[in-house]
Amino acid sequence: MEGVNLKVLNEELSIKLLGKLTLLFPVLEVDLKQQLEIKKLIDEILYDYEITTKCTKLTTSDILERAKLYIACKSLEGLSKKTLKNYSLFLNKLDMFFNKPCSTISTMDLRMFLSAYGKGKKASTINGYITYLKNFFGWLQDEEYIIKNPAKKLAFTKVPKLILQGYKPDNLEKLRLACSTVKEKAFFELLESTACRISEISNLTLDNINFVEKSMKVTGKGNKQRIVYFSTKAKLNIEEYLKVRKGNSIYLFTSDHAPYQPIKTRALQLILKRIQERSGVTERVHCHKFRRTQATYLLNSGMSLPGVQKILGHESPETTQRYARLSEENIKNEYKRLVI
């Protein structure tokens, strides 16, 4: 048997012995420091021995087995299907890279993995990988599949903080004027005034729209619901659209032809693309940029950061600050107002 497999078996025996001791002495369950000290002593004793197993099968990875449980738990927590799919694809890569149990993977192993799969990738992408590793191995530790989290010491790569720009006012107006149908106008005004994610608008149902309050209930990331508000222009155009819209779908936006199914995110993105082509706007146009534009407008108009954060549906204020910035002109005016 190769030396590397003997090392893996030694580590497996060390983990199993510690597990048995923890069952015999329950006090160890809450004393991680003591567990690590005991494991260190076991490792020192086993160092001079070569462990073999009665089983002739080579040691294999248990990452996929643990990953299935992890994905199932995260699904119950309300993570989106897209996020769960990304986790699943990433953990498949992890399983392909390692051929040993999770309990034997070290911090250096993970660094080697990041070096291999992060080659040529942006710093932000590598940081995403590190987040996946920290979350997965943190969960393994919490569930007591492993004693020590090897991802804990992984350091995030420094990413330059870029100021994300919104639409220029003249380009925003060009896009508005390029809307040719009442459906396009309703979609544009809703997207522009609510700062909603495109998926939130795609899944919007009529029973969640309050025309009196000019508000609507949307479901964001993690199936979390929030109330957002739309403009008078959006209200009028939606009402006009509903007068000519065919079918009886509970969803706001539907296809123009039978059987008048609700249209998905991709179809709404294509509508915006057609609007851009007619407008002559050359700057990059995409749905998410409307959130950034509206966030900047709201902050510049005096809305508090927590207020903008709530409208955007962000978990933390840091995310909101990344999407929106106060203009230099506003900062100058504020300074002059406060300082004589």
Q: What is 144-183 written as a DSSP string?
A: TS-SS-TTTTPPPPP----------HHHHHHHHHT--SHH
261 phi and psi angles, rounded to 5 deg: -75, 155
Rounded to an integer, what is the distance from CA 139 to the centroid of its chain?
A: 17
Alpha carbon distances (Å) from 254 to 189, 193, 238, 273: 17, 20, 13, 17
Alpha carbon distances (Å) from 110 to 122, 133, 150: 18, 8, 8
Eight-class DSSP state of 262: B
CA dist 38 and 18 (Å) reads: 7
Site of tokens 């390692």: 98
* Three-class secondary structure of residue 284 per DSSP: coil
The pLDDT score that the predictor gives to residue 7 is 56
Question: Residue 78: left (phi > 0), alpha (psi -120 to 50), or beta?
Answer: left
CA dist 285 and 178 (Å) reads: 13
Nearest 5 degrees, angle CA 184-CA 186-CA 190?
115
- Sign, Cα dihedral of 73, 77, 82, 86: negative
Alpha carbon distances (Å) from 257 to 245, 261, 263, 271: 10, 8, 11, 15
* Three-class secondary structure of residue 62 per DSSP: coil
Nearest 5 degrees, angle CA 200-CA 73-CA 266?
25
Q: Which residues pair with 217 in a beta bridge?
A: 227
What domains lie within the chain, and their CATH numbers?
Answer: 1-59 (no CATH), 60-160 (1.10.150.130), 169-334 (1.10.443.10)
What are the residue ranges in the chain where pLDDT is below 50? 1-4, 56-58
9 phi and psi angles, rounded to 5 deg: -65, -40
The pLDDT score that the predictor gives to residue 4 is 42
Eight-class DSSP state of 263: P
CA dist 76 and 237 (Å) reads: 38
Q: Which amino acid is at 60?
A: T
CA dist 158 and 127 (Å) reads: 9
CA dist 294 and 303 (Å) reads: 11
